[in-house]
Amino acid sequence: MMRWYCFSLCLTLFVSAGHARQDKSDLQAVAAISQITEGRVTATISFLASDELAGRATASPEFDIAAAYVASRFRGAGLVGGADGSFYHETSKRMVQIPSAPFTITNADNGSIQHFGLLACSSEPFKYSGELIALDLSADLPTAGLSGVVGGVYQGDAKGPRLISQVLRIAGKLSEAGAKMLLLGVAPDSELIQLAQQSRDKPRPESPQNRFAIPVLLVPASSLDSKSLRLEVPATHALDKPMRNVIGMLAGTDPELSKEAILFSAHLDHLGVRTGVGDVIYNGADDDASGVTAVVTLADAFGAMPRPKRTLLFMAFWGEESGLLGSKQFVTNPSWPLEKIVANINIEMIGRPEPGANGKIWMTGWQESNLGSLMNSASILRGTEIFEHPSFSSRLYRASDNWSFAEKGVIAHSFSAGSLHADYHQPDDEWERLEIPHMTRVIQGLFYASQPLVQGTATPISSKKAK
């Protein structure tokens, strides 16, 4: 009730102020907002985050289904494809998989040495017969003089991505010092063993986050007692797979301003399925089916109003969870000139408000440009605040696809309306746990907030340029 009261009040103010042109586009925006409904938001997100889409892992068949769905929604909203007319911005990506064939390693007497499987192997097979060099991995590692296979126990207590990056760093340093392989001693319940299993089960996009400099075999600490060993490590399986960003466009009407674009984006991929029992599907409802739902419903709303003056681009990326790969692919080979992207409004995790922040939006990298305050001045009139989050705004500026664009000099930020809740990157990130009325308000807020941008009455500037 309050919202509609506010809309009509603001309209009255605009009319009485005599901004005739502003009134017209404002009225059109009010009419188009009827496209962004709780029903439509529910329909979209309950499909994208369904178990049937199996966590939308990059390179999975379910990701391709999700991409086809987003393309179909773009068509339905009246969008056309990108520069070449296609709704897909494609590339071929090298996928790697650890061979799943049984793997044996023996000591000098041909006695079998126990292990938990390979965490990483190289693009070439590796054969070795010789001494095992024992090292304390928690001490300073040698910078030269190693050759052959090194063994040591993992001493840290890191979890998740930090754990992987620590092992990557150790493997990298050992490789620089001349080592050819690492036997890493771990506990039988180590998270690394589960990760090794997943790497055997399915191909993963090759990225800096999974490119180990040398093969890594996980072993119980007791296996490191062996003085010598004999082994043959197979090469990784590699295959090239087409990867798709989904892209749709609404061409602007102004002869000059239409050469400039506002880009709305979100990442379509999530973490897929884990091994084990119980709920194994990472549905990624908030992260980031909520952002993709915003992108497609914004396309619906913009498609339902007369064409704005600037061109609008709508994108859904692959590979964000693997290191912003899809957006990096786009900025490396853009189908729209990057210097003609006026702003990238990337949308991340808008489904679960923080206490007291219902319907409010925060922007990452607030200090980097005036985009947040510019958009807030348009949305606050409608009762939606866009603000600088005291801890997340700077911390998460480089954590999503906006960063790929910002690195290239585009004014690019992520817009979020939640927190890093307990279900973040867990199988319980289900759509039933989202607050749909809040999320709908946020999408409507973003729609209003971007009106001055799409109509060309406002242009953000970067803080660097302003100085």
| CB-count exposure of residue 94 (10 Å: 0-12, 13-18, 19+) | middle
Considering all CA atoms of the chain, what is the largest pairwise distance in Å, rounded to the nearest integer?
94
- Identity of the residue, 62 or 320, whose beta carbon is nearer to Zn ion in the bound complex: 320
Neighbours of 205 (CB within 10 A): 23
* The only residue of 288, 300, 429, 430 in contact with Zn ion, by rule CB under 5 A: 288
Q: Could you tell me which stretch among 30-38, 143-151, 341-349, 374-382 binds Zn ion (CB under 5 A)?
A: 341-349
* Pair type for strands 361-363 and 412-416: antiparallel
Helix, strand, or coil here: 117?
strand
Q: Does the protein bind Zn ion through residue 287 (CB under 5 A)?
A: yes
Shortest distance (Å) from residue 242 CB to Zn ion? 23
- Identity of the residue, 351 or 383, whose beta carbon is nearer to Zn ion in the bound complex: 351
Residue 446's closest CA among 75, 29, 66?
29
Q: Could you tell me which stretch among 23-31, 284-292, 300-308, 377-385 binds Zn ion (CB under 5 A)?
A: 284-292
- Identity of the residue, 348 or 429, whose beta carbon is nearer to Zn ion in the bound complex: 348
The amino acid present at 153, given as its one-letter code, is: V
**Burial call 209-246: b when 16+ CB within 10 Å, e when fewer:** ebebbbbbbbbbeebbebeebbbebbebeeeeeebbbb
Number of residues near Zn ion (by CB under 5 A): 3
- Identity of the residue, 237 or 425, whose beta carbon is nearer to Zn ion in the bound complex: 425
Q: Could you tell me which stretch among 34-42, 222-230, 231-239, 279-287 binds Zn ion (CB under 5 A)?
A: 279-287
Shortest distance (Å) from residue 467 CB to Zn ion? 31
Element (H, E) at 240: strand 237-250
- Identity of the residue, 63 or 448, whose beta carbon is nearer to Zn ion in the bound complex: 63
d(CA 445, CA 154): 48
Length of the chain: 467
Shortest distance (Å) from residue 378 CB to Zn ion? 25
Q: Could you tell me which stretch among 134-142, 173-181, 195-203, 340-348 binds Zn ion (CB under 5 A)?
A: 340-348
Shortest distance (Å) from residue 21 CB to Zn ion? 38
The amino acid present at 286, given as its one-letter code, is: D
Residues in CB range of 126: below 8 A, 6 or more apart: 180, 181, 215, 232, 233
- Identity of the residue, 287 or 368, whose beta carbon is nearer to Zn ion in the bound complex: 287
- Identity of the residue, 427 or 452, whose beta carbon is nearer to Zn ion in the bound complex: 427
Helix-, strand-, coil-residue percentages of the chain, each rounded to 5? 40, 20, 40
d(CA 379, CA 244): 33
- Identity of the residue, 50 or 364, whose beta carbon is nearer to Zn ion in the bound complex: 364
Shortest distance (Å) from residue 400 CB to Zn ion? 6
Shortest distance (Å) from residue 47 CB to Zn ion? 18
Shortest distance (Å) from residue 366 CB to Zn ion? 19
Half-sphere exposure of 191 (CA within 13 A, CB side): 11
């409507």: which residue's tokens? 444
- Identity of the residue, 260 or 401, whose beta carbon is nearer to Zn ion in the bound complex: 401
Q: Could you tell me which stretch among 94-102, 131-139, 227-235, 283-291 binds Zn ion (CB under 5 A)?
A: 283-291
| Site residues (CB under 5 A) for Zn ion, limited to 43-72 | none
Print the binding letters for residues 397-436 with Zn ion: x by CB under 5 A, - otherwise. Answer: ----------------------------------------
* Pair type for strands 237-250 and 341-347: unpaired
| Site residues (CB under 5 A) for Zn ion, limited to 343-382 | 348
Binding residues for Zn ion, per CB under 5 A?
287-288, 348
